[in-house]
């Protein structure tokens, strides 16, 4: 059997077996509704309280019962945070600031608000993907009601200067939301100490089940619900609670808090071996994202003269699971909007490879990747007309400008729906 090596954990995680064991009784035995009056509701009520506490502890939220809203996942949480703040506080202003490298959930939610009269500022980032703090300061107006910046980027791993952003938001009394889907469970997040207003969390990104997430809403922050009904989650997210999912998320949060530091060190070590060796062994290879301020599990690159899609397909034939751009971006044929925002042109951005590690990766995995990748890149480059031009010393910058002009004509409208 072919060796199988998984380095695309950002796109999907298997459940931690301990999490699965914790969930199981809630599928079959404890199937009650927490709102019922009879004895079947007791174990589920308790489980709900317990899970809420564990999720709160992961980000050091002060009052679980008032500040954690369970949702169906990161995307819903982001929608709830942004639309929830916007619709509840629209009398205070109609301006929202976010960045160009946010998840599509943030970008598309913000774009949809433009149709309702909101103005959105999409802040630029530098070549490492760090949000431009000076631009943030300049863009704030007295109509600004929300700043939404991700804690760390899911594609290039860059950790954003949250502390500085919060200071600015606090100073101007503007709500701050952070999409912490990629960061939570990987690096410490402290809602109280960091004074963050809203935090989006996803269960599957911390070895929990898919289909469940949470939004932390500091008790001083006012939002409106987007899904209405029976009034669950203090009226902020109706719908019968997905108890097995929530229980699993709670257990995953508990394990993440307990093991983050140790596991992080181990994963970071593997990441550093990957980065060092890939940059050394493969000519014209580049790290994307920040060289130091990056998530411990993220090793992202680009390679001149080839397409990321081809790299991923070729690696897949050898049992290696990897990504190019984010899974969400692969809906379209567009190159990653994140890489584009860091200043790369279409052709450069198309040559990306994203390796995301988990606690299950080993040195053996890393060695297998390091054996395979250089060969894969060479093989693909041999077939690549672009690479041949590079070798022949053609002025690619000039060539690319020509191509891009052609491409831009096809891609001027990136808006979804």
What is the distance between the alpha carbons of residues 106 and 139, in angstroms, rounded to a whole number? 18
273, 287, 321, 396: residue in contact with a second copy (rule CB under 8 A): 321
Question: Which of these ranges, 57-65, 145-153, 160-168, 330-338, lies near a second copy under the rule CB under 8 A?
Answer: 330-338
- Of 107-136, which residues contact a second copy (CB under 8 A)? 108-109, 111-112
Asked if 110 is an active-site residue, the reply is no
What is the distance between the alpha carbons of residues 334 and 3, in angstroms, rounded to a whole number? 31
Nearer to a second copy, 74 or 305 (CB): 74
The answer to whether 246 touches 50, Cβ cutoff 8 Å, is: no
Nearer to a second copy, 68 or 105 (CB): 105
18, 33, 287, 360: residue in contact with a second copy (rule CB under 8 A): 33
- Tokens at 363, concatenated: 């040195």
The answer to whether 109 touches 83, Cβ cutoff 8 Å, is: yes
123, 156, 166, 323: residue in contact with a second copy (rule CB under 8 A): 323
Decide if residue 78 touches a second copy (CB under 8 A): yes
How long is the chain? 417
Angle formed at CA 289 by CA 288 and CA 290, multiple of 5 degrees: 130
As a three-state string, the secondary structure of 90-141 is CCCCCEEEEECCCCHHHHHHHHHHHCCCCEEEEECECCCCCECHHHHHHHCC
- Of 272-291, which residues contact a second copy (CB under 8 A)? none
Which single residue is written with the structure tokens 């107006």?
141
1, 28, 395, 412: residue in contact with a second copy (rule CB under 8 A): 28
Closest CA to 378 of 296, 310, 288: 310
Closest CA to 5 of 263, 382, 376, 384: 376
22, 75, 121, 218: residue in contact with a second copy (rule CB under 8 A): 75
Decide if residue 328 touches a second copy (CB under 8 A): yes
Q: Which residues contact 72 (CB under 8 A, 6 or more apart)?
A: 211, 212, 213, 242
Q: How far is the CB of 195 from a second copy (least distance, A)?
A: 26
Decide if residue 416 touches a second copy (CB under 8 A): yes
Question: Which of these ranges, 71-79, 191-199, 289-297, 361-369, lies near a second copy under the rule CB under 8 A?
Answer: 71-79
Nearer to a second copy, 135 or 321 (CB): 321
Burial-class residue 158 by CB neighbours within 10 Å (0-12, 13-18, 19+).
buried
- State the DSSP H helix or E strand holding residue 275, giving kind and residue range, or none if neither: helix 243-281
Closest CA to 215 of 94, 59, 45, 376: 59
Paired sense of beta strands 213-217 and 198-202, if any: antiparallel
Q: How far is the CB of 391 from a second copy (least distance, A)?
A: 27
Decide if residue 414 touches a second copy (CB under 8 A): no
The one catalytic residue among 104, 328, 390, 396? 328
Decide if residue 315 touches a second copy (CB under 8 A): yes
Nearer to a second copy, 117 or 406 (CB): 117
18, 20, 273, 404: residue in contact with a second copy (rule CB under 8 A): 20
- State the DSSP H helix or E strand holding residue 57, giving kind and residue range, or none if neither: helix 41-58
Nearer to a second copy, 61 or 329 (CB): 329
- Of 134-153, which residues contact a second copy (CB under 8 A)? none
Decide if residue 52 touches a second copy (CB under 8 A): no
Decide if residue 72 touches a second copy (CB under 8 A): yes
- Of 200-239, which residues contact a second copy (CB under 8 A)? 204, 209-212, 224-232, 235-236, 238-239
- Of 243-262, which residues contact a second copy (CB under 8 A)? 243-245
- Of 156-175, which residues contact a second copy (CB under 8 A)? none
Residues in contact with a second copy, counted by CB under 8 A, come to a total of 80
31: left (phi over 0), alpha (psi -120 to 50) or beta: alpha
Most distant pair of Cα atoms in the chain: their distance = 78
Q: Which residues are catalytic?
A: 328
């Amino acid at each position: 059997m072919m060796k199988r090596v998984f380095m695309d954990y950002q796109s999907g995680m298997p459940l931690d077996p301990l999490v699965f064991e914790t969930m199981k009784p809630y599928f079959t035995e404890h199937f009650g509704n927490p709102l019922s009056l009879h004895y079947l509701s007791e174990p589920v009520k308790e489980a709900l309280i317990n899970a809420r506490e564990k999720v709160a502890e992961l980000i050091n939220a002060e009052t679980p019962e008032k500040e954690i809203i369970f949702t169906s996942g990161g995307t819903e949480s982001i929608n709830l945070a942004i639309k929830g703040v916007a619709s509840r506080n629209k009398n205070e202003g109609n301006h929202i600031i976010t960045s160009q490298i946010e998840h599509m959930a943030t970008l598309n939610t913000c774009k949809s608000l433009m149709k309702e009269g909101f103005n959105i500022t999409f802040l630029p980032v530098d070549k490492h993907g760090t949000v431009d703090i000076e631009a943030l300061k300049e863009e704030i107006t007295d109509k600004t009601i929300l700043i939404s910046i991700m804690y760390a980027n899911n594609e290039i791993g860059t950790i954003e200067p949250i502390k500085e952003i919060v200071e600015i938001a606090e100073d101007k009394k503007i709500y701050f939301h952070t999409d912490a889907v990629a960061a939570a469970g990987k690096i410490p997040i402290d809602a109280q100490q960091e004074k963050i207003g809203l935090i989006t969390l996803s269960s599957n990104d911390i070895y929990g089940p898919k289909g469940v997430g949470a939004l932390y809403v500091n008790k001083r922050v006012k939002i409106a619900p987007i899904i209405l009904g029976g009034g669950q989650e203090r009226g902020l997210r109706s719908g019968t609670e997905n108890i097995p999912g929530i229980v699993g998320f709670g257990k995953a949060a508990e394990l993440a808090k307990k093991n983050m530091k140790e596991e992080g060190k181990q994963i970071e070590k593997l990441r550093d071996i990957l980065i060092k060796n890939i940059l050394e062994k493969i000519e014209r290879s580049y790290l994307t994202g920040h060289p130091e301020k990056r998530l411990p599990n993220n090793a992202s690159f680009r390679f001149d003269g080839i397409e990321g899609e081809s790299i991923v397909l070729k690696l897949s034939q050898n049992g290696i699971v990897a990504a190019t751009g984010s899974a969400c971006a692969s809906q379209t044929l567009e190159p990653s909007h994140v890489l584009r925002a860091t200043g790369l042109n279409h052709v450069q951005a198309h040559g990306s490879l994203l390796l995301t590690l988990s606690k299950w990766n080993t040195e053996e995995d890393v060695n297998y990747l390091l054996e395979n990748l250089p060969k894969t890149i060479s093989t693909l480059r041999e077939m690549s007309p672009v690479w041949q031009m590079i070798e022949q010393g053609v002025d690619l910058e000039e060539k690319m400008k020509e191509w891009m002009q052609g491409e831009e004509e096809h891609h001027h409208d990136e808006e979804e729906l």
